[in-house]
Structure 1
Amino acid sequence: MGNNNDNTPRDEARPRLTIADWAEDDRPREKLALRGPAALSNAELLAILIGSGSAGESAVELTKRVLNDCRNNLNTLGKLSIADLTRYKGMGPAKAITILAACELGKRRQMEKAEERPDLGSATAIYNHLHPLMQDLDTEEAWILLMNQNFKLIKRERISHGGISETAVDVRIIMREALLNNATVVALAHNHPSQSPRPSKDDDRITQKLNDACGTMRIFFADHVIITDGRYYSYREEGRL
């Protein structure tokens, strides 16, 4: 005869899974790193902010409860007070403050205009952009300007600085930065402390190497501009690119 005593654990008797027990793709932090913030629900994003739930309830479950009471409306969530949030078990003052701070940042972001990126589509624009950084230098520095296809600046970065008469420029570093920042246009600029904008043979060599590398990677090499205090030399304007 069969045994009437069923020793199989019931679902309700099993311990509740914590976020650490979830599949890696389902953990909010790991999910954001793999798929980007847009892939996460509001509850998952809030769970990242508060970090942990309480005994028997994960951070995601806690934030789902809070959002459910707000009819899943983030605007309503932002109107809650610290006292309102701390009524939830597992939601202490520090977590409540973190949520309200995030809501306030979101509100302020909506009120601000998108950052205006400089248009660097000419040698004059490049000179005007970098001259304040270079006009008083007594050693050479080389900078790259990474841009999108509309010549709007993505990133400006100093790649080297050296002696009075020259500085080392590594084309590999320039190409790596361009690829990492999804730039489709690159410009190179450096200063001459001698105040003579005339290019040297090393300047010509670097220009040619960078032009070749950009051509291989299908990145437009906009210009190499030599900057002095009051004048500049443009390889593009001189018809050498």
Structure 2
Amino acid sequence: MNHVKLKNLPKSDRPYEKFLNFGEQALTDSELLSIIIKSGTKEMSSMEIARQLLVGKHNNILNIYDYSIEDLCHFPGIGKVKAIQIKAVAELSKRITKTNSGYHLRLDSPESIANYYMEQMRHLKKEVLIVAFFDTSCKFLGDTVLSVGCINYTIVSPREIFKSALEYNAKAVVLLHNHPSGVPIASSDDKKITKRVQEAGKLMDIQVMDHIIIGDNRYFSFKKENIIE
């Protein structure tokens, strides 16, 4: 394969110059990624390395969410420092998406809540249970991670959920957990957990407004499906 160094490309085709002349929107994913990678090897330019990173499970920029530091270090020219930089950019993109979605977060809208947590949870390799807290005026107060690993009826503790709710002075909660398979279908355990937490919430005068299961860019809402009222 012919190796073309970036400095040998026409100026208009070099990522840095293209960025300055036409703006970031004009660059392809591989060109933007090559700017982060910065330098290549004797055999490959940063652009060629970037293109390799985009070939895989998703065949697009979503690959960088799935790669671990160790995975990235197997690519030519990617050491630990560059791998950390790439993962830092991926994490920043999640946080930007979440922050932007937060402006539209509404307790009465399962879609807005699912969108808020989608990028944070859809790529996780393990099941994670998050509880979101709201006040009497439906204002979002914050959230907490309650469990990491297999989420089942015996592990989820209503006591821990409502202990955290009291710390936030919350009057309503929304349960969220992800399905690493990417398929957000409610299991019998999911339904049992929801009912158990709902019953405990009634005793505490704290309403369980919804239980949302996050999949791969899809979600399942107990409220939307009328399983929870």
**TM value normalised by structure 1:** 0.49
Equivalent residue number for residue 176 of structure 1: 163
The one-letter code sitting in structure 1 at the alignment partner of 2:184 is P
Which of the pair has more CA radius of gyration?
A: 1
- 1:193 matches 2:187: no
Q: What RMSD over aligned residues (CA atoms) do the two structures have, in Å?
A: 2.1
Q: Distance in 2 between matches of 1:203 and 1:173?
A: 17
- 1:218 matches 2:225: no
Provide the identity percentage.
33
* 1:149 match: secondary structure: coil
Q: Distance in 2 between matches of 1:117 and 1:154?
A: 14
Shift of 1:230: 1.4
Q: Do 2:104 and 2:112's aligned partners in 1 also have CA atoms closer than 8 Å?
A: no
Equivalent residue number for residue 230 of structure 1: 217
Q: Do 1:185 and 1:220's aligned partners in 2 also have CA atoms closer than 8 Å?
A: yes
Equivalent residue number for residue 152 of structure 1: 139
- CA distances 1:10-44 after superposition (whole Å, capped 9, x unpaired): xxxxxxxxxxxxxxxxxxxxxxxxxxxxxxxxxxx
Q: How many residues align?
A: 126
Q: Distance in 1 between matches of 2:136 and 2:116?
A: 18
Gapped regions of structure 2 (runs ≥ 5): 1-101
Q: Do 2:183 and 2:216's aligned partners in 1 also have CA atoms closer than 8 Å?
A: no
- CA distances 1:120-169 after superposition (whole Å, capped 9, x unpaired): 33111110111111121111000000101222111111111104x75932
Pick closer, same or farther for the CA change 1:231–1:217 going to 2, 3 Å: same
Q: What are the within-5 Å matches in structure 2 for residues 1-241 of structure 1?
A: 118-163=105-150, 168-241=155-228
* Deviating 4+ runs (over 6 angstroms): none
Q: Distance in 1 between matches of 2:123 and 2:137?
A: 30
* 2:115 match: secondary structure: helix
